[in-house]
Amino acid sequence: MPTSLMFFTLISCLLALGQASLPLVINTWSFKNATAAAWAVLQSGGSVLDAVEAGCDCCQKEQCDGSVGYGGSPDESGETTLDAMIMNGNTMEVGAVADLRRIKNAIGVARAVMERTEHTMLVAESATVFAENMGFIAEDLTTVKSLNIFTQWLKGNCQPNYRKNVCPNPSESCPPYKPQGKLGPKKHLPTNIHSHDTIGMIAFDQYGHVAAGTSTNGRTHKVPGRVGDSPIVGAGAYADSSAGAAAATGDGDIMMRFLPSYLAVELMRAGTDPSAACKMAISRIKRHYVGFFGAIICANTTGHYGAACNKVPGFLQFHYMVSNGESDEPLLKSVDCF
């Protein structure tokens, strides 16, 4: 082999190695500060759970895209409510909260559910009481911005909304509604691709121990009580240190019906490449909902990772962040939707 070719091969191998190494932090969307926060925790000897919690909490505090944390996605009554989960891929323990009210740090409460109860998920007002007992501070999650979104919506006759088969006609009128006698044809709202950019995060340490987590404030103008895919195990995220981890984002009402994160992890367990596993999880949903908005990130135990997304108008490429020591800064990655 000529020296130049040998050199080229060596560099290629190094690059290939560089693309898959542990530790690894990967998260949905271009939420770079979250990646950096999680990576810093790993670098200072923190656990993968600490990393995921810190990363998601960073987004909660920065109100990433208005879709994470307080002051975003007001529901039909104007209130912001939060969903979050965290999963330990070594022990398969999970903590989750859904429809959490008046507490900013949803991922922190999720972790408390995992570590300070034998349960997996707490919801709504009772989750708030639990959180307060555990030392979290209750406060109003409404901001000028979320109040503004809400009042504009009221002014516009409460459009859009997620109601169907009710009267008065939900495409013209505000709540309250009553059931309408006859069920009409299937309705699917045009997707607003900017209204549900959940953070989903995966962190591996150098030994291949993995944790995953999510945090979101759900969908703007949701029906009060609505819970999306983010806090649902296997839907919003899944982690198993013997196989890999995945986290999903997008139209949670549809995606949660297919447990895409669980599916992707099981595919990786069977030896499927992470990018292919991500694609197959998206394809499964596509079979039933061609126009759904969604994306997923996948990583296996050797630190190989990938992502996939469903191509719909206005969503041709999905961005996600990676830190694995390849560079000092978290790297912005993208994948073309299919």
**DSSP H helix total and E strand total for the chain:** 9, 14
Specify the residue, 141 or 299, whose C-beta has the smaller distance to ligand NAG. 299
Beta strands 24-28; 244-250: pairing state: unpaired
Taking the least distance from each CB to ligand NAG, the nearer of 33 and 173 is 33
Contact 173, 157 (CB under 8 A): yes
Strand spans (E) along the chain = 24-28, 81-88, 93-101, 121-123, 166-167, 178-179, 199-204, 210-216, 237-240, 244-250, 294-300, 305-309, 317-323, 331-336
Q: Per the residue annotation, which of 80, 198, 249, 272 is the catalytic one?
A: 198
Residues in contact with ligand NAG by the rule CB under 6 A: 33, 62, 271, 273-274, 300-302, 304
117 is annotated as an active-site residue: no
Encoding tokens for residue 322? Answer: 């990676």
- Minimum distance of ligand NAG from residue 122's CB (angstroms): 29
Minimum distance from residue 248 beta carbon to ligand NAG (Å): 19
Residue with Cβ nearer ligand NAG (55 or 231): 55
Minimum distance of ligand NAG from residue 183's CB (angstroms): 43
- Grouping H, G, I as helix, E, B as strand and the rest as coil, residue 38 is helix
Measured over the CA atoms of residue 270, residue 274, residue 280 and residue 284, the dihedral's sign is positive
Q: Check residue 49 and report its DSSP letter.
A: H
Q: Which residue is nearest to ligand NAG (CB)?
A: 273
Q: Distance between CA 209 and CA 123 in Å, rounded?
A: 28
Residue closer to ligand NAG by CB (options 164, 319) is: 319
For the CB of residue 303, give the shortest distance to ligand NAG in the complex, in Å: 8
Which active-site residues does the annotation give?
198
